[in-house]
Chains A and B, each alone.
Chain A
């Protein structure tokens, strides 16, 4: 079968992850969100904005009991009598909630920062609580931020992390709760759209890898940098499994034919495009060192063209069994791939919890699109129709060089 190529960009997934809370800046809640650079995906600084209608955000936090010895060493969860500490977060816009296990608490007295480490699949999230200590009362929470302490290396952990992060960035209202500490708060976050978009791109690749994993009962890594050729192969495998029949790039190719009656009979009388279907072949794709056997696939080209038609016809007509090189291409550069024996994704491939997050895709896309269209339209905001016409007029340069 013809080798396929699809122009795909490489993806650099993971900028350096902050090792301390120093990368988190808490602004005054009325100052709005900090601008994030394009590459700040993992250094997300989800600055909180005041939500007038939210519940009161400064509340007593009881973990001061673990710090009563005023020790400056790290305080781990093992030192806390109640070992079932959890951190709940609810995304009202997406009707979704997460419950995380707090695996460690870190504080360095007399600092007013407390760090909670949350386990999320293979990821460790770090929550920074910023507040102040009040005599004999404990810690009052004023603000908080998220970062990623340790990022997982499997498609599932990346998928979960990116979904969670995208939801944080797209939600108009997020509720957090630490039940054991009697803490509740409602926040909203300000994240640039291109940052969220990058998360969704990585989420899509992670999901596609999850589908491949489940279909072929294998485990794949999720490297920090994914070359464009792998993005393309992952896409090919995904479509082979899910869509079964799909359009793909068909580059020009030189194919050896044999001067026999069989090949000669393939030729049309005139040099016009003709349909052709390739016989089924086993297709294998290598993804991150793992061979994925897609089974039998066939390719069909509706308008197949032979660039050296006359030469081919002349040589094939000799019927002498010699090799004839045919310069071939699809007229529109595409072919239809059909999976014949490619394994199928099992019905119950994913747990209900993960399936629910998978199913959020359309909703996430929809929120992003709404924001995107709003930003684009804002560039003409406040203009009359005449003014719009004037500013949208294309340049009319009358110099001879361009006057055509």
Chain B
């Protein structure tokens, strides 16, 4: 099974949920990141998918006219300027796309029952309802030789079953 353990010095990408918890200053994330920094003298990377997700919320508010345009502009600048200073942003590039396109059909075909069950458990609006973002994030991490830190072991394990041949995902579970 191509799911391996991330070592203390393995370069890591964090998923969007952990990034959100970081922005909300949840102590468990701060502890994990401090440990990671102590070992690597670097910060966990983000993927361009997470940048999309991080910007989506405020733009969604803007589209619904819940938020004023100037607030949106200020908030977007705040997110993106701070991200640039502190994080390596891994792009969803050709290799990432190739990996994602391999995982996707295999996952859909072989795990349809699990996906349906998973979806039925999640309420609409639940942040964990969909899995496609994680497929894109994991594909990007793999393409750039990074490991993956998440709270959700089950999702990562299922996705990792369908990685392209000779490819391993190094996983770190960060949770309270």
Contact = CB atoms under 8 A, between A and B. Distances in A.
B168 A393 contact: no
A379 B23 contact: yes
Contacts of A200: 41
A194 B30 CA distance: 18
A8 B9 contact: yes
A201 B42 contact: yes
A331 B3 CA distance: 9
Nearest to B131: A404
Given A6-B9, A204-B41, A394 B130 contact: yes
A8 B9 CA distance: 8
Contacts of B42: 197, 201
Contact of A365 (B4, B24, B34, B56): B34
B68 interface: no
Nearest to B112: A404
A266 interface: no
B82 A375 contact: yes
B127 interface: yes
Contact of B25 (A194, A201, A373): A373
B176 interface: no
Contacts of B132: 402, 404
A379 B82 contact: yes
Given A201-B41, A375-B86, A380 B23 contact: yes
A393 B57 contact: yes
A376 B86 contact: yes
Given A192-B85, A379-B23, A392-B23, A9 B11 contact: yes
Contacts of A63: none
A368 B129 contact: no
A53 B117 CA distance: 64
Contact of B37 (A7, A369, A403): A369
B75 A391 contact: yes
Given A332-B4, A381-B78, A395 B133 contact: yes
Interface in B56-84: 56-58, 60-61, 66, 75, 78-79, 82-83
A372 interface: yes
Contacts of B58: 391
B85 A235 contact: no
B102 interface: no
A339 interface: no
Contacts of B131: 404
Contact of B34 (A369, A379, A390): A369
A249 interface: yes
A390 B61 contact: yes
Contacts of B75: 379, 391
Nearest to B78: A379
Contact of B38 (A201, A365, A395): A365
B96 interface: no
B38 A391 contact: no
A373 B4 CA distance: 29
Given A393-B127, A404-B115, A7 B10 contact: yes
Contacts of A397: 130
B130 to A, nearest CB: 7
Residue with the greatest number of chain B CB neighbours at <10 A, chosen from A247, A377, A392 = A392
B7 A248 contact: yes
Contacts of A380: 23-24
Contacts of A7: 10-11, 145-146
Contacts of B25: 373, 376-377
Contacts of B24: 380, 388, 392
Contact of A193 (B85, B115, B116): B85
A6 B6 CA distance: 10
Given A372-B86, A393-B56, A395-B53, 11 more contacts: A6-B10, A8-B9, A9-B11, A235-B9, A247-B5, A333-B170, A369-B33, A392-B23, A394-B128, A396-B124, A396-B130
25 contacts: A6-B10, A192-B85, A193-B85, A194-B86, A197-B42, A201-B42, A203-B41, A331-B1, A369-B33, A369-B34, A369-B37, A372-B37, A375-B85, A375-B86, A376-B86, A379-B75, A379-B79, A380-B23, A388-B24, A391-B57, A392-B20, A392-B24, A393-B125, A396-B124, A404-B119
Interface of B: 1, 4-5, 7-11, 16, 20, 22-25, 30, 33-34, 37-38, 40-43, 52-53, 56-58, 60-61, 66, 75, 78-79, 82-83, 85-86, 108, 115-116, 119, 124-125, 127-133, 145-146, 168, 170
